Amino acid sequence: MNLIPDRFMKIVIVNKSDRTGGAAVVSFRLMEALRGIGVDARMLVVEKLTDSNYVELAGSSISIKKNFIEERLKIFIANGFKKSTLFKIDTASDGLPLWDHPLIKEADAVILNWVNQGMLSLKGVRKILESGKPVVWTMHDMWCMTGICHHAAECREFHKNCEKCMLLGSGALDKKLAGEIWLRKQKLYSLKQKIKFVAVSNWLYGKGKESSLLSCQNVSVIPNAFLFKEDGKTGMEKSNDCKITIGFGAARLDDPIKGLPVLVEMTRMLKSDYPELAARMELVTFGNVRDPESLSGIAISHSYLGMVRGDDAVRKIYENTDIVVSSSSYETLPGTLVEAQAYGCIPVSFDRGGQADIIDHLSTGYIAEYSDNIHTAARHLVEGVVWAALKVDNPEEFAEIRRKMKCDVIRKFSPESVAKRYLEIIGVPADFSKP
């Protein structure tokens, strides 16, 4: 399909939400970035939380709930009524008829982002492809390259055919489920009309090339777009007092992937091994928590802000933060680290995903060695936090690191450059501009 920019080009971005979760936030930013360069970009969601006129609901609340419940129930039964992995798995067996939605029908191209949990089925993806429209699928996790899981962790079955899925335990009633979905994806990816996949980090791209599903597919690397507002106060204007503030945020803080127990252990080690430094530190956490007791073991001064919504609210946190820590065991491209850097916070993180795309070790942050042992992992984070704290205590060094971080964010993650790269993948000339 030859797309000629002789009018406002129409692109639909499909994502479960326009606000909840990292994929939602960056999908909304991508929409705004595309609109900023003259594209009529809109979002199609099942959960609308913004007041944007360019975001539409994909279907009725009844149909959305029905699809969600039916798919979860199928997974629950197939996996022998096992709750622990219920939301680690998606089959895309149920979904809304998005191919019939007016926005999809009128679109010149479709960008799929995070569309699981009953929003879009594999059948639905096929029908959109059969319309002949260019389809770009942005991968925010590993689901497109595995049978049914979002994060393969140490499993290597996605290199083959996912027939021996680790998440389908000994009590699973349908142990062939992962392999069957793998085959359905293989057939979908083999269609004449090809999906163009986008990995948001080089790490995720590498995982895709290891996958038997994506190894021969068209996969590009485009990072998520991040905003950096120059107006008003910025992190570059942090006051250099004796206090050192550490930030830790996520959509859900006690999600096992986020490694909250490691963070808690890190604070204990800081207090025991560096008591004078720890006495000057305050940990600020923000995000949902299912179990409030999971925060009770934090050993240094601590403030919990709850769920924080909106770019401005998050920016205010980072404006008053010196160091941001990520203890995650897995991240595709952790947006909290990019945002933190933009506003002058030194990131300390494990290299368990796309962190290397963000952090230049010992220059614009600290990449700690990961370990499955909680104490060893915490020890490595402590080393990073101490390194960062020494930089914070040196005004000249802190200012230089903040300058480097700001330049890196603007160069790598500016909305305009990200939007233009998407247009190039879709097939629009690089010099496309408003008609």
User: Which pLDDT band holds residue 4 (cuts at 50, 70, 90)?
Assistant: very low
In this prediction, what percent of the chain has a pLDDT beyond 90? 77
Same domain (yes/no): 198, 243: no
Same domain (yes/no): 205, 278: no
pTM score, whole prediction: 0.84
434 found inside a domain: no
- Out of 106-110, 155-159, 314-318, 398-402, pick the least confident: 314-318
User: Which pLDDT band holds residue 432 (cuts at 50, 70, 90)?
Assistant: low
Same domain (yes/no): 317, 345: yes
- Out of 79-88, 187-196, 298-307, pick the least confident: 79-88
Average pLDDT over residues 243-265: 94
**Whole-number pLDDT of residue 162:** 96
Residue span of the structural domain in which 333 resides: 235-413
Looking at every residue in the chain, the average pLDDT score rounds to 91
194 found inside a domain: yes
Average pLDDT over residues 416-431: 85
Average pLDDT over residues 71-85: 92
- Are 186 and 217 spatial neighbours (Cβ–Cβ below 8 Å)? no
User: Which pLDDT band holds residue 77 (cuts at 50, 70, 90)?
Assistant: very high
User: Which pLDDT band holds residue 8 (cuts at 50, 70, 90)?
Assistant: confident
Same domain (yes/no): 384, 340: yes
- Please name the residue ranges forming H helices in 83-176: 102-106, 122-130
Same domain (yes/no): 318, 421: no
Same domain (yes/no): 384, 400: yes
Q: In angstroms, rounded to a whole number, what is the distance separating the alpha carbons of residues 303 and 300?
A: 10
| Coil, strand or helix at 109 | strand
Separate counts of helices (H) and strands (E) for the chain: 13, 13
**Whole-number pLDDT of residue 332:** 87
Average pLDDT over residues 308-335: 89
Residue whose C-alpha is closest to residue 424's, from 19, 5, 106: 5
**Whole-number pLDDT of residue 5:** 46
> Residue 322 corresponds to which tokens in the numbers above?
């010196």
CB neighbours of 233 closer than 8 A, spacing ≥ 6? 319
**Other CB atoms closer than 10 Å to residue 4's CB: what's the count?**
11
5 found inside a domain: no
**Whole-number pLDDT of residue 282:** 97
**Whole-number pLDDT of residue 134:** 96
Average pLDDT over residues 29-49: 95
- Are 132 and 1 spatial neighbours (Cβ–Cβ below 8 Å)? yes
Q: Residue 349 belongs to a domain with what CATH number?
A: 3.40.50.2000
Overall number of domains in the chain? 2
Average pLDDT over residues 234-244: 62
Q: Which amino acid is at 99?
A: W
**Whole-number pLDDT of residue 233:** 40
433 found inside a domain: no
257 found inside a domain: yes
**Whole-number pLDDT of residue 433:** 52
> Residue 91 corresponds to which tokens in the numbers above?
């089959």
Same domain (yes/no): 420, 370: no
- Which secondary structure element, helix H or strand E, spans residue 219, and what is its range? strand 219-221
Q: What is the SS3 assignment for 313-362?
A: HHHHHHHCCCEEEECCCCECCCHHHHHHHHCCCEEEEECCEHHHHCCCEC
